[in-house]
């Protein structure tokens, strides 16, 4: 894990700097800025932007400012989605990353606007970044697809509609593919595009992302079902309380753990395939990310 720990320690401050500086420079209302920065500073694993940068590193590319900006934009989209998901009308969560949720501190109206602001700022940051115009347009196309009505927003709607009724395993997978999978897929694709990889390699990164995204969601479900609030920094048992179908509820704890192991193993296989396709590619860092998703 050492390589990944070092890489994370190196990369995090640069991702966070891009987010904080952009919000600070491009927000024309102080209270709104405060609300946006509150959620941005609440921490979190920064899993998605780290994925972008890990892909670049896997192809021996030194990350530039614009690469950190793409990671920052992605994390801003993720953060907006958490703020809106936590609202009373949605999941009604009081606690996120061990801290009161945005609307608990700033009120619902400002939380809605902080989310709207972060989403719009993500596209503004991408649009202003120092990336060649055609590549920038492609990244904006992919981010809007992943985060919008073909991706995350559609998944969130599907998730709401799935409350209080039993989904089949394939319905559940379809919801999660959109709700969490799409942004993870964007991270991998964006990394490949920024590393100027050929389409074949970018597509394989997308396949890897699908296994990683599914594993990520199964682990999230398992943690919600088995962890304590202190350990997780957010309310637990919420899925059960909302009567949501989850991997543990459909497969049982043992079945869900098995599904997680299977997805991680398929992810590793795809990494091996990428290594065979591209001589530039070193799989160690992404392999460590896979290992991090295993249950402790």
Please identify, among the stretches 63-71, 138-146, 191-199, 250-258, the one whose residues bind a copy of itself according to the rule CB under 8 A.
Answer: 138-146
Q: Per rule CB under 8 A, is residue 145 in the interface with a copy of itself?
A: yes
> Where in 238-277 is the site for a copy of itself (CB under 8 A)?
none
Distance CA(123)–CA(14), nearest Å, equals 19
Query: Which of 157, 141, 180, 142 shows the shortest CA–CA distance to 45?
Result: 180
Distance CA(140)–CA(145), nearest Å, equals 8
> Where in 36-75 is the site for a copy of itself (CB under 8 A)?
36
Q: Which residues are CB-neighbours of 6 under 8 A, at least 6 positions away?
A: none
Q: Per rule CB under 8 A, is residue 32 in the interface with a copy of itself?
A: yes
Helix (H, G, I), strand (E, B) or coil at 96: strand
Q: How far is the CB of 158 from a copy of itself (least distance, A)?
A: 6
Q: Per rule CB under 8 A, is residue 168 in the interface with a copy of itself?
A: no
- In the complex with a copy of itself, which residue's Cβ is closer, 58 or 217? 217
Q: Per rule CB under 8 A, is residue 161 in the interface with a copy of itself?
A: yes
- In the complex with a copy of itself, which residue's Cβ is closer, 116 or 288? 116
DSSP string of 109-152, one letter each residue: HHHHHHHHHHHHHHHHHHHHSSS-HHHHHHHHHHHHHHHSTTTH
- In this structure, are residues 52 and 70 in contact, taking their beta carbons and an 8 Å threshold? yes
> Where in 213-232 is the site for a copy of itself (CB under 8 A)?
none
- In the complex with a copy of itself, which residue's Cβ is closer, 124 or 283? 124
- In the complex with a copy of itself, which residue's Cβ is closer, 150 or 243? 150
Distance CA(131)–CA(69), nearest Å, equals 10
Q: Which two tokens stand for residue 116?
A: 């709207």
Binding site for a copy of itself (CB under 8 A): 23, 26-29, 31-33, 36, 84, 87, 89-90, 107-110, 112-113, 115-117, 119-121, 123-124, 127-128, 133-134, 136-137, 140-141, 144-145, 147-151, 153-154, 156-158, 160-161, 178
């Amino acid at each position: 894990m050492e390589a990944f720990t070092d890489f994370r320690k190196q990369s995090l401050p640069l991702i966070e700097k891009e987010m904080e500086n952009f919000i600070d420079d491009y927000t024309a209302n102080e209270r709104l800025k405060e609300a946006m920065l509150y959620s941005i500073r609440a921490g979190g694993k920064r899993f998605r932007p780290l994925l972008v940068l890990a892909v670049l590193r896997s192809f021996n590319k030194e990350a530039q400012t614009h690469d950190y900006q793409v990671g920052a934009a992605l994390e801003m989209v993720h953060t907006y989605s958490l703020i809106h998901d936590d609202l009373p009308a949605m999941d009604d969560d009081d606690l996120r990353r061990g801290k009161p949720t945005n609307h608990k501190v700033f009120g619902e109206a400002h939380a809605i606007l902080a989310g709207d602001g972060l989403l719009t700022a993500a596209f503004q940051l991408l649009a202003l970044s120092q990336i060649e115009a055609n590549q920038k347009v492609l990244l904006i196309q992919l981010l809007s697809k992943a985060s919008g009505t073909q991706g995350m927003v559609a998944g969130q709607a599907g998730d709401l509609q799935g409350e209080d009724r039993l989904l089949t395993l394939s319905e559940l997978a379809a919801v999660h593919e959109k709700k969490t999978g799409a942004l993870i897929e964007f991270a991998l694709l964006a990394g490949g595009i920024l590393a100027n990889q050929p389409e074949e390699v970018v597509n394989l990164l997308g396949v890897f992302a699908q296994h990683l995204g599914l594993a990520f969601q199964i682990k999230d479900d398992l943690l919600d079902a088995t962890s304590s609030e202190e350990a997780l920094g957010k309310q637990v048992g919420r899925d059960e309380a909302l009567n949501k179908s989850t991997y543990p509820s459909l497969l049982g704890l043992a079945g869900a753990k098995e599904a997680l192991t299977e997805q991680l193993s398929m992810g590793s296989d795809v990494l091996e395939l990428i290594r065979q396709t591209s001589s530039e590619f070193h799989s160690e860092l992404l392999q460590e990310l896979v290992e991090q998703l295993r249950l402790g």
